[in-house]
Amino acid sequence: MDLPLHPKLVHLPIALAVLMPLLTGGLLLAIWRDWLPKKAWSIAGIAQLLLVGSGWLALRSGEADEHRVERAVPEAVLERHEEAGERFVWGAVFVLALVAMPLLMGGRRQMRATLVLASAGTLGVLYLGFDVGQRGGELVYGHLVGNAAASASAVDVPTPARLRRSDDDDDR
């Protein structure tokens, strides 16, 4: 398949960004109520690490696939999407550090505060994920990148203008 890699990779970090507040909130409650031991928080660390890794791969694949669509999309639109992707990944890295802190702390009171802070941080990453996804959707649906990428791959995809012309031909 000659389709771009970026659209295939972006869904995992976005899905994880949606799930992380739920996961950390549930773990926070379970640890707070002593239903789970403190080490159960490592689940959040692994999930956040997966989010960072998949986000980084999505970012790199977007940079690699950029040449396929840069002729069809204004550079400013591509730049805004790329910058949003960078903010998302760096935000996820920052939250990874917050998620790791409770595992390294000894005092229960300090640990609880960092659990709350890390959980709140996942909401910030969710917002950043929404932003980058919104800008990606603008590229695909607002500027027909899907058609531009497909035509760059030598696949003949009808554009809206060609569809209108072919519809007009039927009326004769």
- Asked if pLDDT for residue 144 goes beyond 90, the answer is no
Domain-located, residue 117: yes
**Whole-structure pTM value:** 0.80
Structural domain including 130 reads 6-170
Q: What is the pLDDT of residues 1-22, one digit of tens each?
A: 567 889 889 999 999 999 999 9
Count up the domains in the chain and report the number: 1
Report yes or no: 28 and 120 within 8 Å, Cβ to Cβ: no
Give backbone dihedrals phi and psi of 74, rounded to 5 degrees, phi first. -55, 140
Domain-located, residue 67: yes
Angle between helices 75-104 and 11-32 (to 10 degrees): 30
Domain-located, residue 119: yes
Residue 67 pLDDT:
82
Q: What is the pLDDT of residues 75-134, one digit of tens each?
A: 888 999 999 999 999 999 999 999 999 888 766 777 888 999 999 999 999 999 999 999
- Asked if pLDDT for residue 162 goes beyond 50, the answer is no
Domain-located, residue 1: no
Domain-located, residue 41: yes
Domain-located, residue 48: yes
Domain-located, residue 33: yes
Domain-located, residue 164: yes
Q: What is the pLDDT of residues 26-55, one digit of tens each?
A: 999 999 999 999 999 999 999 999 999 999
**Placement of tokens 């995809």 in the chain:** 157
Instruction: Measure the N-to-C terminal CA separation of the chain; round to a whole number of Å.
Output: 38
